[in-house]
Amino acid sequence: MKREAASAFEGVCSIDPTARSKIWPEHHDHSQFATPADHFVERDRVQFAGTHLIIDLWGAKRLDDLQLMERVLRECVIKCGATLLHLHLHHFTPNGGISGVTVLAESHISVHTWPERGFAAFDIFMCGNTRPEEAIPILKRAFSPENMNVTEKLRGLQGNDPCDGKRSDSPSQGGGVGGMRKL
């Protein structure tokens, strides 16, 4: 970056824009050395990019406990067989809600909590050889929800899959663990 362009950032940001390689990841073309891995999933002869779980907890407890949230997210990553790249949590005041994300080599887990309502929204998307469903009992044990709704969407499907890649594990919606239901 030319010095003239860099001077536009002075006083706005403490990061030296001429030192980009120190703060941003570098991307290299390794195609000449090896064939890139394909992290699509194949299950029951269906190929897709990954499993996306949308999990709502109602009547949940300890949704304002930042240390617990970090431990729970780390446990989910390990149990699901994923690779943690970065974890960031933000604690809001005065209500104590938490928003955060774990950035994974296989995608992400995000969370937003409303402790004043006993509600938490988790979003878990993983590709490759992972088991995102392993996070469900961890969340249930940690936050003791009165009700838990789980919706699964298979991402990256091509064409028309008879199941449409959707599952509902909500007893109130007539689904069951492993049951396919079009929402």
DSSP secondary structure letters along 6-72? HHTTTTT-SS-GGGHHHHS------TTTSPPP---EEETTEEESEEEEEEEEES-S-TT-HHHHHHH
Please say whether the dihedral angle defined by the alpha carbons of residues 89, 90, 96 and 97, taken in this order, is positive or negative.
Answer: negative
**What DSSP line would sit under 43-56, residue for residue?**
ETTEEESEEEEEEE
User: Could you report the per-residue pLDDT of 56-68, keeping only the tens digit for each?
Assistant: 999 999 999 999 9
135: pLDDT strictly greater than 50: yes
What's the predicted TM-score (pTM) here? Answer: 0.71
Range 125-151 average pLDDT? 97
48: pLDDT strictly greater than 80: yes
User: Could you report the per-residue pLDDT of 144-177, keeping only the tens digit for each?
Assistant: 999 999 999 999 987 655 455 454 444 444 443 3
- What amino acid is encoded at 104 in this protein? L
Give the pLDDT of residue 34: 65
Give the pLDDT of residue 89: 98
Give the pLDDT of residue 2: 44
Give the pLDDT of residue 93: 86
H/E stretch holding 137: helix 135-143
Catalytically active residues are 107, 112, 127
- Residue 110: which pLDDT band, with cuts at 50, 70 and 90? very high
Mean pLDDT of the residues in the chain:
79
Q: Pick 120 or 177 by higher pLDDT.
A: 120
Portion of the chain with pLDDT greater than 90, in percent = 58
Give the pLDDT of residue 31: 58
**What DSSP line would sit under 105-116, residue for residue?**
TTEEEEEEEEGG
136: pLDDT strictly greater than 50: yes
102: three-class secondary structure by DSSP: strand
92: pLDDT strictly greater than 60: yes
- Distance between CA atoms of 71 and 1, rounded to whole angstroms? 41
Superfamily for 41-171? S-adenosylmethionine decarboxylase (3.60.90.10)
